[in-house]
Structure 1
Amino acid sequence: MGEVKFMPSGDRAMVVEFGNAIDTRINDQVHTLARRIEEEQIPGIVELVPTFRSLMVYYDPFLTSYAKLKAVLENSGEIGAGSAKEKKRILKIPCCYGARFGQDLADMEAYTGLDRDEIIAIHSSVDYKIYMMGFLPGFVYLGGLDKRIEIPRLKTPRVKIQPGAVGIGGNQTGVYPLASPGGWRLMGGTPVDFYDPDREEPILCKAGEFIRFIPITIDDYYDIRRMIVNGTYQVEVLEEDA
């Protein structure tokens, strides 16, 4: 099982830790274990919360215990071992780069030495894995950012960032689902709601899925936004071999 560690977290949760770094291989192990637990429908488990490098497993202490759960997971095969049948679920997210949404594109050009068209082409050429959700409801921490467009966070965070803002912070990219303070460099905006409390599934996506940004014009942005308000827009989803 390598470096896998089991740790209790209070009287109704367990942490299964796979490493101590933000790493694709480690995160793959986290999500593989989460899928295995869901498929096996292990009694007593209430919720699974994947992070960059660990899986929090919440359980009902009246139905199971830390010791029982640890034994079940240890005996269910190699922890985090993958499957050849796994599929990538990719959400195609329209993004209007620049315009009124990309306040920091000029700074990114100066920092990276690339022009905005190159930055946009690089950013929209990757299927970003959702390593984890956090910070705000529906906020995605995405892995896979090209090193050529990595840029430090703002020294002084903005007081308010609009919902749908697409930004880069260090070696990660993501989407702000709600208006909030934030220090990531803004390069665009999506009309898609990553969090909508009135929707049947309030949060658009989940950890382990992938995001592909699709460049659109400012006119496309407002057309899609109108369709979303009218309830006639659906995010396109692809399934590909992992």
Structure 2
Amino acid sequence: MTLPEHARYTWGGDEFLVVEIAPDMSLEANFVANSIATRIEERELPGIVDICPANASLLIRFNPDELPYMDLERHVRDVDVEVRKATEGVLETRVFEVPVWYDDPYTRATGAKFREGYHQDPSGTDLEYAAHVNGLADAQEFVRRHHERPWIVSMVGFVAGLPFLYQLAPLSEQLEVPKYLSPRTDTPPLTVGIGGCFTAHYSVRGAGGYQMLGIAPAPIYDPEQKLADFTDFSVLFKTGDIVKYRPVNEAEYREIEEQVQAGTYRYKQASVTFSLTEALDDIDGHNRKLLEALNVA
């Protein structure tokens, strides 16, 4: 995919700058957005309040009394040029293995409550619908396609700790599923769902419109920071993290739940280098390289 030559800059009142890298999501657009956010943060400009990278854009909140808006725009435009000229295209990040009980009774029961008037196919389940719209044989085939390739965290937000993830797969093989016709008023905590081309990993219970695929046994948001994986921060995922979902059965789900309650559970994870160039040239080869790190972790 070819990105627009220049980002689109939009001001939101006196305190916000929106930088739109591209109108559509892509690995390239997401990489540029996150790279700009990182480099602006590294400049330690006075007056920067917050930097929020998203799928193909970023939002910068600033104090105009400390940082004139023209100065901020100049810095961002300079960084945008730097990022696009950079030849290495690498990101030092982490890869996580995340267990999921696909087709679990909790999301099934919730889905059954929200069919008529909410869902495109009231007669089936979310997984069956997801398989159908992707031309797959059955729900099991969809589950396999969902967990066999890793996903990259493209943004974190909406509610505390909720990541949106984009699958590292050729465009022709990416999974895409429409969201509910009308959002549910309930979604079990730690539901793993899909809407459009994005997986959303619900950090807490609440409303939602993504098709529900399964449920995870371990938290991704720990405000009390009880587990060791949350020692530094209450939110597990950061933009750029790589996630490999691993299917588990009920017995393993319960076992992990017990470890979480005991405070002993640790996510399997490793440090890796993500290369945009390698991913675009040979996505499956680069995926294997990323996932090898989990085998030695």
TM norm structure 2: 0.73
Which residue in the other structure is 2:211 paired with? 185
Cα distance in 2 for residues equivalent to 1:94 and 1:50: 26
Cα distance in 1 for residues equivalent to 2:195 and 2:106: 16
Percent of residue pairs identical: 26
Map 1:1-242 → 2, pairs under 5 A: 2-76=5-79, 78-81=81-84, 82=86, 83-101=88-106, 103=108, 104-111=126-133, 112-144=135-167, 147=173, 149-199=175-225, 201-242=233-274
1:56-95: CA deviations, max 9, x gaps?
1122333322112222333457243354552242222111
Cα distance in 1 for residues equivalent to 2:168 and 2:241: 15
Which structure has more helix as a fraction of its residues? 2
Which deviates the most, 76-85 or 195-204? Answer: 76-85
How many positions carry a matched residue from both structures?
242
TM-aligned CA deviation for residue 142 of structure 1: 1.3
In structure 2, the CA distance between the partners of 1:110 and 1:53, relative to structure 1 (3 Å rule), is: closer
8 Å CA contact 2:107, 2:188 repeated in 1: no
8 Å CA contact 2:94, 2:270 repeated in 1: yes
8 Å CA contact 1:194, 1:203 repeated in 2: yes
Q: What is the letter of the counterpart of residue 241 of structure 2?
A: E
TM-aligned CA deviation for residue 156 of structure 1: 4.1
TM-aligned CA deviation for residue 139 of structure 1: 1.7
RMSD of aligned Cα (Å): 2.4
Which structure has more strand as a fraction of its residues? 1
1:116-171: CA deviations, max 9, x gaps?
33222211122212222232212222112764642222334333110011111232
In structure 2, the CA distance between the partners of 1:98 and 1:145, relative to structure 1 (3 Å rule), is: farther
Cα distance in 1 for residues equivalent to 2:179 and 2:208: 9
Cα distance in 2 for residues equivalent to 1:133 and 1:66: 26
Cα distance in 1 for residues equivalent to 2:104 and 2:77: 52
In structure 2, the CA distance between the partners of 1:150 and 1:7, relative to structure 1 (3 Å rule), is: closer
Partner-residue secondary structure (3-state), 2:40: helix
In structure 2, the CA distance between the partners of 1:110 and 1:121, relative to structure 1 (3 Å rule), is: same
8 Å CA contact 1:168, 1:184 repeated in 2: yes
In structure 2, the CA distance between the partners of 1:192 and 1:66, relative to structure 1 (3 Å rule), is: same
8 Å CA contact 1:145, 1:173 repeated in 2: no
TM-aligned CA deviation for residue 195 of structure 1: 2.0
Cα distance in 1 for residues equivalent to 2:144 and 2:264: 29
1:185-236: CA deviations, max 9, x gaps?
2111101212222125222212222222111121111111121122111222
8 Å CA contact 1:165, 1:175 repeated in 2: yes
Which deviates the most, 20-29 or 147-156? Answer: 147-156
Cα distance in 1 for residues equivalent to 2:175 and 2:73: 41
